[in-house]
Amino acid sequence: MSYFSDIYKGIKTLLTGMSVTGKYFLNSRKGAITQQYPDNRATLKMFDRFRGEVIMPHDENNEHACTGCQKCEIACPNGTIEIIWDRGIDEDTGKKKKKIDQFVYHLSMCTMCALCIDVCPTDAIIWGQNFENSVYDRTKLTRVLNEPGSKVRAGIED
Amino acid sequence: MNKSLSILTNIHDWLFSIMPEGVASIVEMVLIGVAYLGFFAIAGLFLVLLERRVAAWFQLRIGPNRVGYLGLLQTMADALKLVSKELTGTIKADKFLYNLAPYFVIVSSLMALAVFPFTKEIQAFDINIGVFFLIAISSIGVIGILIGGWASNNKFALIGAMRSGVQTISYELSIGLSLLTMILITGSLQLSEIVEVQKSGWLIVQGHVPAIIAFMIYMIAGTAETNRAPFDMVEAESELGAGFHTEYSGMKFAYFFLAEFINMFIIAAIATTIFFGAWLSPFGITESIPWLGVFWFMGKALILVFLMMWFRWTFPRLRVDQLLTLEWKYLLPINLVNILIMALIVWLNLTIKF
């Protein structure tokens, strides 16, 4: 008698499947996952884990968190990050102290592996959400992440 | 007689008044042929667009909405693109058969279109063996597919064509038997008379349980007949490239493509005529306005087309052995028993009539 139960089960599962897709069909107006990209540029929000490019956030005093420890430069598998550093005098202690002059980031070589961001002890660099990275001149892909005149935030090394 | 329908008879009378009888009937035939060809092209393009939009909605996408208002001109643009493309071919192909195949497919589906009663007056060819004609014509299309697959001298195309042969020969049986079940009620193969019978209730209501079973079998077999998913082993993209039309390009490919969608409409139209009362309105609500019959016919056919699209975007593809098991072990025995039950019901006068 498995013949008839097979037919019953077959029809039942087919109807279950059709009800699932039918629900999708009815809800497609609200729940469309398609992004109409160039039109919704203003409202488009990328997801949190999206890896667009490496950026270095600066606060309102034009201060960043990079101490120039060069861990990211060592961690990078393909030489994307180049830190040009300098020695300056620490005002508090009067001792010589390492500071970054230019944090150079070659976006054209970056594979978005996130090793630099994982390794950064002070969270100075994070993922940016920008993905429109095409330019007409590839030298524009070499970026200096720290803004001119910025300095390291006090107390970040403690 | 309503005004819009009397226009057709007026044209008929006018043609016969200005020309000798033989010339007038030839001119009339050509005009009707051109009208059906136009309907064929427009309906094909519209169905392709509908399929793409419906598929998008089933998958929570938006679908083509850029070309023209709401993307209505999208398939028109696609057709223009296909017209302008080069017609490539393989060197070792059988040139004559290779070029003939698309026309075989498209002519057979165009011929099937001729017998449908779109409304009381609009029926090009009211042949007295209508259903038989439809079944016969719809199985000619597969010869085009077989020729196309064979002549392109391509392994994928050949396998696709052979699968199509297996599939259509098997499921032709179920289509025929399920339609035969309904013919037991009407007692006539002529489509206009089948519609007449349905004035006292659509056949799916008149025949109740066996009619519904017959309808389900018909829809399954019809989906298989048009080579659509879940029975699209003929062009199974993941296995065979594009199946029998792998080697076709440009407009020849478009002919296959259009014919597939028109065949879907034909299957839906047969079901509309046999099961759902063709141009009859539900409960006779618009009986006084005969030209609304076209609207009812198209509406019912489109609902059934939507059902087939629903199948396509829900069910996974069958294997060949599963396909044959479904036909020979399930559909065919059920169908034969169903015919017996229907014969009993007709004999004992248990049909529901209003």
**Cα Rg for chain B, rounded, in angstroms?**
21
Per the CB < 8 Å rule, is A27 touching B315? Answer: no
Of the candidates A156, A52, A70, which has an alpha carbon nearest to the alpha carbon of residue A110?
A52
* Structure confidence at residue B101 (pLDDT): 86
Per the CB < 8 Å rule, is B62 touching A18? Answer: no
Taking each continuous run of H as one helix and of E as one strand, the counts in chain B are: 15, 0
Question: What average pLDDT is seen over chain B?
Answer: 84
Q: What's the whole-number mean pLDDT along residues A123-151?
A: 87
Q: How far apart are CA B305 and CA B160, in angstroms?
A: 24
B212 touching A (Cβ < 8 Å):
no
Answer whether residue B2 shows pLDDT above 60.
no
Q: Measure in Å the smallest separation between the Cα of B35 and chain A Cα atoms.
A: 34
Per the CB < 8 Å rule, is B62 touching A36? Answer: yes
Q: How many domains does chain B have?
A: 1
Question: Is B28 inside a domain boundary?
Answer: no
Region of poorest pLDDT, from A63-67, B64-68, B232-236: B232-236
Calculate what percentage of chain B has a pLDDT beyond 90.
3
- Contacts of residue B109, defined as CB under 8 A and 6 or more positions apart, other chains included, come to B40, B138, B141, B259, B262, B263, B266
Cα distance between the two ends of chain B:
25
Nearest residue on chain B to A36, alpha-carbon basis: B62
**Chain center to CA of B69:** 28
More confident residue, A32 or A97: A97
Question: Is A48 inside a domain boundary?
Answer: no
Q: What's the whole-number mean pLDDT along residues B164-193?
A: 86
Q: Tell me the chain B residues in contact with residue A36 when contact means C-beta distances shorter than 8 Å.
A: 62
CB B105 within 8 A of CB B141: yes
Answer whether residue A18 shows pLDDT above 80.
yes
What confidence tens digit (pLDDT) does each residue in B5-49 have? 567 777 777 877 777 878 888 888 888 888 888 888 888 888 888
Nearest to A21 among B61, B62, B313 (CB): B313
pTM score of the predicted model: 0.81
Region of poorest pLDDT, from A122-131, B177-186, B279-288, B336-345: B279-288
What confidence tens digit (pLDDT) does each residue in B75-85 have? 888 888 888 88
Of the candidates B301, B222, B229, B232, which has an alpha carbon nearest to the alpha carbon of residue B265?
B301
Question: Is B287 inside a domain boundary?
Answer: yes
A31 touching B (Cβ < 8 Å):
yes
Per the CB < 8 Å rule, is B310 touching A32? Answer: no
Question: Is A129 inside a domain boundary?
Answer: yes
A25 and A80 assigned to the same domain = no
* Structure confidence at residue B5 (pLDDT): 59
Question: Is B56 inside a domain boundary?
Answer: no
Q: What's the whole-number mean pLDDT along residues A119-147?
A: 88
Handedness of CA B80, B37, B230, B246 (dihedral sign): negative
A57 and A30 assigned to the same domain = no
* Structure confidence at residue B151 (pLDDT): 86
A141 and A68 assigned to the same domain = yes
Question: Is B352 inside a domain boundary?
Answer: no
Q: Tell me the chain B residues in contact with residue A24 when contact means C-beta distances shorter than 8 Å.
A: 57-60
Of the candidates B110, B100, B83, which has an alpha carbon nearest to the alpha carbon of residue B148?
B100
Q: Measure in Å the smallest separation between the Cα of A7 and chain B Cα atoms.
A: 8
Region of poorest pLDDT, from A65-74, A137-146, B237-246, B295-304: B237-246
* Structure confidence at residue B337 (pLDDT): 92
* Structure confidence at residue A136 (pLDDT): 92
B310 touching A (Cβ < 8 Å):
yes
A81 and A124 assigned to the same domain = yes
More confident residue, A105 or B9: A105
* Structure confidence at residue B340 (pLDDT): 92
- Contacts of residue B199, defined as CB under 8 A and 6 or more positions apart, other chains included, come to B280, B284
Question: Is A157 inside a domain boundary?
Answer: no
> How big is the CA angle at B222 (ends B218 and B227), to the nearest 5 degrees?
155
The DSSP-derived string for B38-70 is: HHHHHHHHHHHHHHHHHHHHHTT-----SSSGG
Per the CB < 8 Å rule, is B315 touching A25? Answer: no
A30 and A76 assigned to the same domain = no
How many beta carbons lie within 10 A of that of residue A54, not counting itself? 24
A88 touching B (Cβ < 8 Å):
no
User: Band of the pLDDT at A115, cuts 50, 70, 90?
Assistant: very high
Q: Measure in Å the smallest separation between the Cα of B331 and chain A Cα atoms.
A: 10
Calculate what percentage of chain A has a pLDDT beyond 70.
99
Question: Is B79 inside a domain boundary?
Answer: no
Question: Is A83 inside a domain boundary?
Answer: yes
Expressed in percent and rounded to 5, the helix, strand and coil fractions of chain B are 75, 0, 25
What confidence tens digit (pLDDT) does each residue in B259-308 have? 888 888 888 988 988 888 878 877 777 777 777 778 888 888 899 999 88
A119 and A76 assigned to the same domain = yes
Question: Is A47 inside a domain boundary?
Answer: no
Residues 95-124 of B with CB under 8 A from A: none
**Chain center to CA of B237:** 23
* Structure confidence at residue B353 (pLDDT): 76
Answer whether residue A155 shows pLDDT above 80.
no
- Which of A4, A11, A16, A21 should be substituted to probe chain B, the one whose Cβ sees the most B Cβ atoms within 10 Å? A21
Per the CB < 8 Å rule, is B60 touching A18? Answer: no
Region of poorest pLDDT, from A75-89, B58-72, B214-228: B58-72
A145 and A85 assigned to the same domain = yes
- Which of B62, B328, B337 should be substituted to probe chain A, the one whose Cβ sees the most A Cβ atoms within 10 Å? B62
- Which of A7, A12, A28 should be substituted to probe chain B, the one whose Cβ sees the most B Cβ atoms within 10 Å? A28
Q: Measure in Å the smallest separation between the Cα of B208 and chain A Cα atoms.
A: 19
Name the helix (H) or strand (E) containing A126. strand A126-128
Q: Measure in Å the smallest separation between the Cα of B38 and chain A Cα atoms.
A: 31
What confidence tens digit (pLDDT) does each residue in B220-251 have? 888 888 888 788 877 777 777 777 888 888 88
Nearest residue on chain B to A31, alpha-carbon basis: B60
Which structural domain, as residue segments, surrounds residue B261? 87-347
Q: Measure in Å the smallest separation between the Cα of B170 and chain A Cα atoms.
A: 19
Which structural domain, as residue segments, surrounds residue A6? 2-34
Nearest to B60 among A7, A18, A31 (CB): A31
Question: Is B31 inside a domain boundary?
Answer: no
Burial-class residue B220 by CB neighbours within 10 Å (0-12, 13-18, 19+).
Answer: buried
Question: Is B39 inside a domain boundary?
Answer: no
Q: Measure in Å the smallest separation between the Cα of B180 and chain A Cα atoms.
A: 23
Q: How far apart are CA B112 and CA B285, in angstroms?
A: 29
Q: Tell me the chain A residues in contact with residue B310 when contact means C-beta distances shorter than 8 Å.
A: 18, 21-22, 25
Q: How many domains does chain A have?
A: 2
Nearest to B315 among A14, A31, A34 (CB): A14
User: Band of the pLDDT at A77, cuts 50, 70, 90?
Assistant: very high
CB B172 within 8 A of CB B209: no
The DSSP-derived string for B285-335 is: TTTT-TTHHHHHHHHHHHHHHHHHHHHHTTSPPPPHHHHHHIIIIIIHHHH
User: Band of the pLDDT at B1, cuts 50, 70, 90?
Assistant: very low
Per the structure block, which two tokens stand in for B108? 């057979």
A65 and A136 assigned to the same domain = yes
A139 and A92 assigned to the same domain = yes
Sequence letter at residue A64: H
Question: Is B5 inside a domain boundary?
Answer: no
